[in-house]
Amino acid sequence: MTTTRTPLIAGNWKMNGTREEARGWAAAAAEALTGSTNDAAVFPPDAWLCDVAEVLASAGGAVALGGQSCCWEPKGAFTGATSAAMLAEVGCRYVLCGHSERRHVFGESDADVAGSMAQALAAGLTPVLCVGETIEEREAGRTQEVLLTQVDAGLGALRGADDPLVIAYEPVWAIGTGKAATPTEAAEAHAWIRARVAETDAERAERVRILYGGSVNPDNIGGFLDVPDVDGALIGGAALDPVKFGLMIRHASTGA
Ligand code: PGA
């Protein structure tokens, strides 16, 4: 991992946790990050954002807050959706755009994802552009093509060189399955993604953090953080265990 990019350890809680659990997980993440040189972020369900924001702020604000999704429209008749401006107002710094479950369960297209990114940027949020291939696409030898198509769509939403961006490579077949990619597979995909970013902005490519996600746990995180171009992790299931998530926050800081 390049030392100039601070590792970002992010927990995506998905649709999990009670209000009380959310507050406890947030406090535990803040505690784990104390004394660490890493960055950490949590992505709670929308219903708990205000609670988690309060807990994180009272713990010093080092752990960033993120939304799991935002609408591609700024406001209006979109029942069930959350706007980027709403996320920003409750204290989010990040928002996931195009998480695999948004794409494959809720049917978001690349155009929807680009629209969400545009809204995120307009609201002052840092979009975390999530990309990843299905097992069918990988077995058909289409991984690179699929990833670069998704990356291109996301990059198209950027307004200028100063727009903030994080990218997460999450192979669909590795999410929630216990079958993580190998660090070698992750490094290959991350290199493709970084090279694509470099085609239009070499400086952005150097600074953009590319996270790996998909069945990351305390036992395998070190393997990912040790390979080139992996700048952190986006963690689902294992982030629901505050002890495991804390271990991963601390693990990254040693690079061990
Ligand atoms: P997982 O989820 O760690 O449970 O595989 C990752 C994600 O969906 O971000």
CATH of the domain at 155: 3.20.20.70
When pLDDT is cut at 50, 70 and 90, the band that residue 3 belongs to is: very low
Cβ atoms 109, 149 nearer than 8 A:
no
Res. 27: pLDDT tops 70: yes
Specify burial of residue 256 (Cβ count, 10 A radius: 0-12, 13-18, 19+): exposed
Residue 205, Cβ density class (10 Å: 0-12 exposed, 13-18 middle, ≥19 buried):
middle
Active site residue 99: yes
**Tokens coding 105:** 């369960």
Confidence at residue 252, expressed as pLDDT on a 0 to 100 scale: 58
Count the helix, strand and coil residues of the chain and give each as a percent rounded to the nearest 5: 45, 15, 40
pLDDT computed for residue 35 by the predictor: 78
Q: How confident is the model at residue 1, as a pLDDT?
A: 45
Q: Which structural domain, as residue segments, surrounds residue 105?
A: 8-254
pLDDT of residue 256: 39
Q: Per the domain annotation, does 113 fall within a domain? A: yes
- Among 211, 235, 241, 244, the mutation site with the greatest number of ligand 1 atoms within 8 A of its Cβ is 235
Is residue 68 a part of any domain in this protein?
A: yes
Q: Has residue 42 got a pLDDT over 70?
A: yes
> What pLDDT is stored for residue 124 in this prediction?
98
- How far is it, in rounded angstroms, from Cα 202 to Cα 115? 24
**CA 175 to ligand 1: nearest atom:** 5
Query: So what's the pLDDT on residue 254?
Result: 45
**222 lies in some domain:** yes
Is position 156 within any domain?
yes
Instruction: Name the token pair of 132.
Output: 């990843």
Output the six-digit token pair for 58.
């009272």
Q: Is residue 3 part of a domain?
A: no
What mean pLDDT comes out for the span 14-41? 95
Question: Pick the catalytic residue: 101, 108, 133, 170?
Answer: 170
pLDDT score recorded for residue 4: 81
Rounded to two decimals, the pTM is 0.96
Q: In total, how many domains does the chain have? A: 1
Position 2 in a domain:
no
At CA 231, angle to CA 156 and CA 123, rounded to 5?
40
**What is the pLDDT, as a whole number, of residue 36?**
84
Give the Cα separation of 17 and 48 in Å (integer): 9
Measured from the Cα of 12, ligand 1's closest atom is 9
Please provide the average confidence, as pLDDT, over all residues in the chain. Answer: 95
Say what the pLDDT of residue 2 is: 45
